[in-house]
Structures are given as C-alpha cells and as structure tokens.
Amino acid sequence: MQEDTRLILEKLEELSRDVRGMKEDIREVKNDVAELKADVAVLKTEVAELKADVEVLKTDVAVLKTESAALRADVEVLKADVEVLKADVAELKADVAVLKEEMKEVKERLDGVEEKTAGLSMVMENEMRRMINVVAEGHGILFQRLSGLHVQEKEREKTELRILKLEAEMRMVKSAVGIA
C-alpha cells in the first residue's frame, strides 16, 4: 500500500506538473488570444477605413466615367476638326503648287524685264552722256557769254561814271564861267 500510495503520489505529482504546464500553456494562449483580439480590433478599424476608401474610390470612378464620356465626345469633335484641317491643308498644298507655278512664270517675265531694263539702261546711259555733254557745252557757251556780258557791264558802268564825272566838271566850269 505504501507502494501504491507512493505510486499514486508520484502520479499525482506528475499530474500536478502536467497541470502547471497546462496552466502555463493556457496563460500563453490567453496572452496570444488577447494579442489576436487587439490585432482583430486594429484590423476592424483598418477594414472600416478601407471600406470608406472604397466608397471614395467608387465615387471617383463614377466621376471618371462621366469625364471619360465627355473626353470621348471631345475626342470625336477633335477628330472631325482634324479631318477638316486635313482637307484645308490639302487645299493649301494645291494653292501653293499653283502659286509656285505662277511664281515661275513671274520669274521668267522678270528675267525678260531685267534684260530689257539692262538694255534700256545702256541706251539711257549713252543718251544721257551725250545730252549731258550738250548741256555742258551749252553751259560753257553761256558762261563765256555771261563773262563777256559781265565785262561789257563793267565797261558800261565805268563809262557812266566818267560821263557823270565829266558832267559834274562841266557844271563847275559853266558855273565858274557864268554860263549856266
């Protein structure tokens, strides 16, 4: 019996150790559960935030859809405008081609005019030289005549002065002689 009691006590002691180990394990599990509860609370908060963010995103997506539709309409308008511009550019290209052809004709005419102008310039230069020479000769003759007239004018003035002097002397002589 003593042997049985000792075996029972040993078993009890072993059970007691097992219970202490289990209590320790339960304490650890409780701590883990408390941590999990805290983590779950944080996760719930984050999920609530995510739900709010999702609602904002849904609103933004709805706005983007509306704006996307408006942009598509604008793109269609731009496409139509581009087509009109392409037609205008094609028309302008045709006009430029016509203008180039006309400019070629104008250049050809201008070349002809330049040739004629050069010829006229040569004729005018030769004629102008001859005319200038004629005018210069005329000026020379006029200058000589003017110089001659100037000399004659001086002679006439001298003669007038002599006449006046002689008349004055005659008056003095007459008044001295008493003829008056």
The CA distance from 144 to 138, in Å, is: 10
* Local structure of 1: helix, strand or coil: coil
| Cα-to-chain-centroid distance, residue 86 | 24
Q: Which of 14-28, 52-66, 84-98, 113-127 has the lowest mean pLDDT?
A: 113-127
Token output for 30: 């409780």
Are 180 and 174 in contact, with CB atoms under 8 Å apart?
yes
Tens of pLDDT along 79-109? 998 999 999 999 999 999 998 999 999 898 8
Confidence of residue 180 (pLDDT cuts 50, 70, 90): low
